[in-house]
Structure 1
Amino acid sequence: MLAFAGTGFGTWAADSWPWPKDRYCWGAWERDSGPDFLGDAAFGDGDDGSRSGTESLPTHERPSGSCEVTIASNYKSSYDGDKVSISQRVSVTYGPVPTAAEARLSMIQDDYLGADMVALPDGLPGTVNARGGLLVLPKSCDAKDGRPTVVTMQAYGTYASGPSYTQEDPADLGGAQQAAVLLVAAANRGMAAAGCAPDKPLKVSSPVYDLPGRRERVFTSSDDLCGIRGLRFDTEDLYHQTGVVTRDLQTCSVAGDRDGIPAVDLAMVAQPRLAAVFDSLTGNRPAVRGWRGTGTLGENHSIVRADCAGRPATFLMGASTDPGHLAAFANAVAARLGCAPIAPKRAAR
């Protein structure tokens, strides 16, 4: 279990660090406390690896910040004698979601609502996987203009061997469960420093459930992708993945087999606090004439919000510009949740 410092502390100047050198990310994470990136395992077979941290602490006056843990290691492979270089980092950001609609949709949907993400446990509003996650903070931390504040975490890295071999090798967060604990620990520290922490610190006490389905290959153009009737592409050889399927969240991702380029990313968000990150983005008119709710269809991202089963549901589409894909997905989700179709039947192809 990850060990992290308590959250009952005051606010400090952004350039003063009252915690010991063996703690990182505003004092939230302790060296050798569980995840590989915080221990010697991060250095591979090397004996001279280094770990360093940089951070900017949120404050009440400037409620944004970041922290980063960087790992570097170089050694000779015991197998073939090639020089091996490991470069990894874990980055955390704290701050309100972007003001511009496209920037906000790109940040939230592209990075944190893919089919490889799962819902945070214990009703916490956000998503997580083994490489990072997003947590929407309580309303007390909202920006003055009402935008929700979020904490995000991402692991990056590369492994290079010899003169020509390089592969992605993200820092090891210890799996989705451990990543959730890391994310929440950092969020508690950030909120306390910014002066908006709830009376009781946020806590991960339950297992991470609702793991996504496998990424599966589709050889024909007639399959109903992600189990969504009518969600089809004329292109053959695709990969599709069904992510979370709950009352609060549902996701689907489709990508090309040969190039891995996304063909469509779809998501439904009904968890109130997570859905709040999309407030003000749907306008006051239907996305398409005849559709329920309000929204916009864009070149990179589309968004529709409509009442469904007694509460607002937000439907998102990225990568594709075909409204038929969004219509098929939204209507299938609406049927599952027990509410009226979002788009006319003829809109889904």
Structure 2
Amino acid sequence: MSYSPPRPTGQAERKVRVLTGFLAVAALVAALVALWQTQSTPLARRTYCWGAWTEGSGPFRDGGRERAAEESVPTRERPRGHCVLSWRGGRGAGAYEQRIEVRLGTGPRDAAGRRDWVGGLFAGGDRALPGLLPGFTADGSGALVLPESCDVGGRPSVVTLTSSFTDAADRGSHPGFPDDSSPSRTGELLVRVANRATEATRCSSAPALRLRAEPPLSSPSPSPDAPAGRCAIPGLGEDAAGERLTDTVGGGAGDDLQSCAVSGGDDGRPAARFTMVGRPRIVALFDGLTGDSPPAPGWRGRGRIDAAGALVRAECEGRPTVFTMRVGPGRTHTRLDDPRHAFPAFVDAMAARIGCAPLRER
């Protein structure tokens, strides 16, 4: 006698179909969630640098292929991070390789390491961001200081951005981007990623920073009554007359961040770079670096002056102001780039320019 299992009733068949359909839908939902989390499908555009930029925005406005990204996302508990992006663009003779590095941090704690770190922030140039934003840019690099509520251990948090590309023509590395290496382009990227850093760390309730558009700037021409000498510093460069000197000025006479770099020779490497900073959040970067004594007898303020560089902090019209000089790789080994001779002349000229009382007896 043969045996056949009972056939399911109509109601049982419906239950099986409902259960099978539910499991299929659940599997599909799980797959979609996984794909969304990895941002690997058109369901969500992939983002870069802590969510600052999507695939077609920011640095990717001209496209790009073979993109690679490495990043550590800052959080409220860990308010530091980094992001490195690289990709290829262009075709044929116009092909290039692009790289961007973004960092959020406070720099070293010890004075010597911090002095080097702050000097590195200013190494590429010191053109202030417009609208009194607490930052500065150069061709392809920049730094922006976050609000005081984002300080960590009493030290300001800083977002830095560095970009460079290597082209197919000479395989040399150049700052910025092939189509636009201007400080304004760097500023746009810097402000966007700085806003994202404050969002990720939840360190500030202030409105997002906005970069005010302004026309491209060129180095201002000296006025007819400006002092003779490089960087409008009387006598600067006179004993280096045999050198082919050029100076690049950033900031106008009334600005609270002004800089000037003097270069010798054809390679454009700076012999010396002079900077004055009166913008409070940028001044805060120098806290603890000037010591408690004047740089020399007859000076007011605090700081140091030696053969390697100079840094002085003093009150100007009731506002803390920092004056610095950094010796560069193109130094001429003359009084032009000897801080013991050039820096006092710079401070005298700059103090007079911004309406600050003299910093030293003359």
Q: TM-score of the superposition, structure 1-length normalised?
A: 0.78
Matched residue of 2:172: which SS?
Answer: strand
Alignment-derived partner of residue 316 in structure 2: 308
Deviation of 1:32 (Å)? 2.3
The question of 1:38 aligning with 2:44 is answered: no
The 5 A counterparts of 1:65-214 are 65-73=81-89, 76-77=92-93, 86-112=96-122, 116-144=125-153, 146-161=154-169, 165-172=170-177, 174=180, 175-204=182-211, 206-208=212-214, 211-213=217-219
In 1: Cα distance, 2:152 partner to 2:338 partner? 32
Alignment-derived partner of residue 303 in structure 2: 295
In 1: Cα distance, 2:62 partner to 2:353 partner? 47
Change (3 A) 1:214 1:259: farther
Cα deviations across residues 55-108 of structure 1 (Å, max 9, x unaligned)? 11112222110112211258544xxxxxx7622111110011332334434433
In 2: Cα distance, 1:102 partner to 1:215 partner? 37
8 Å CA contact 2:127–2:257 kept in 1: the answer is: no
Change (3 A) 1:75 1:211: closer
Change (3 A) 1:55 1:100: same
8 Å CA contact 1:240–1:252 kept in 2: the answer is: yes
Structure with larger Rg: 2
Deviation of 1:41 (Å)? 5.3
Deviation of 1:110 (Å)? 4.2
Corresponding residue to 2:48 among 18, 21, 24 = 24
In 2: Cα distance, 1:51 partner to 1:215 partner? 42
Cα deviations across residues 233-288 of structure 1 (Å, max 9, x unaligned)? 52221121111133411101011123433211100001111110001111110111
Alignment-derived partner of residue 239 in structure 1: 246
The question of 1:59 aligning with 2:75 is answered: yes
8 Å CA contact 2:274–2:325 kept in 1: the answer is: yes
Deviation of 1:344 (Å)? 3.4
Alignment-derived partner of residue 357 in structure 2: 340
Gaps of 5+ in 2: 1-36, 328-336
Alignment-derived partner of residue 224 in structure 1: 229
8 Å CA contact 1:51–1:70 kept in 2: the answer is: yes
Change (3 A) 1:28 1:340: same
Identical positions, percent: 37
In 2: Cα distance, 1:339 partner to 1:143 partner? 32
Alignment-derived partner of residue 286 in structure 1: 294
Deviation of 1:212 (Å)? 4.5
Matched residue of 1:284: which SS?
Answer: coil
Deviation of 1:339 (Å)? 2.4
Matched residue of 1:154: which SS?
Answer: strand
Deviation of 1:157 (Å)? 1.8
Matched residue of 2:359: which SS?
Answer: coil
In 2: Cα distance, 1:189 partner to 1:125 partner? 16
CA RMSD, Structure 1 to Structure 2 (Å): 2.8
In 2: Cα distance, 1:199 partner to 1:340 partner? 35
In 1: Cα distance, 2:361 partner to 2:215 partner? 34
In 1: Cα distance, 2:231 partner to 2:103 partner? 32
Structure with greater proportional helix content: 2
8 Å CA contact 2:139–2:175 kept in 1: the answer is: no
8 Å CA contact 2:106–2:155 kept in 1: the answer is: yes
Cα deviations across residues 189-230 of structure 1 (Å, max 9, x unaligned)? 1122222032422222x22468351799xxxxx950011223
Change (3 A) 1:200 1:340: closer
In 2: Cα distance, 1:70 partner to 1:41 partner? 12
**Which amino acid counterpart does residue 340 of structure 2 have in structure 1?**
P
**Which amino acid counterpart does residue 52 of structure 2 have in structure 1?**
A
Comparing 178-187 and 327-336, the one that deviates more: 178-187
In 2: Cα distance, 1:194 partner to 1:74 partner? 36
**Which amino acid counterpart does residue 268 of structure 2 have in structure 1?**
G
Corresponding residue to 1:327 among 333, 344, 348 = 344
In 1: Cα distance, 2:51 partner to 2:276 partner? 35
Q: TM-score of the superposition, structure 2-length normalised?
A: 0.75
In 1: Cα distance, 2:189 partner to 2:81 partner? 16
8 Å CA contact 2:141–2:176 kept in 1: the answer is: no
8 Å CA contact 1:228–1:332 kept in 2: the answer is: yes
Structure with greater proportional strand content: 1
Alignment-derived partner of residue 6 in structure 2: none
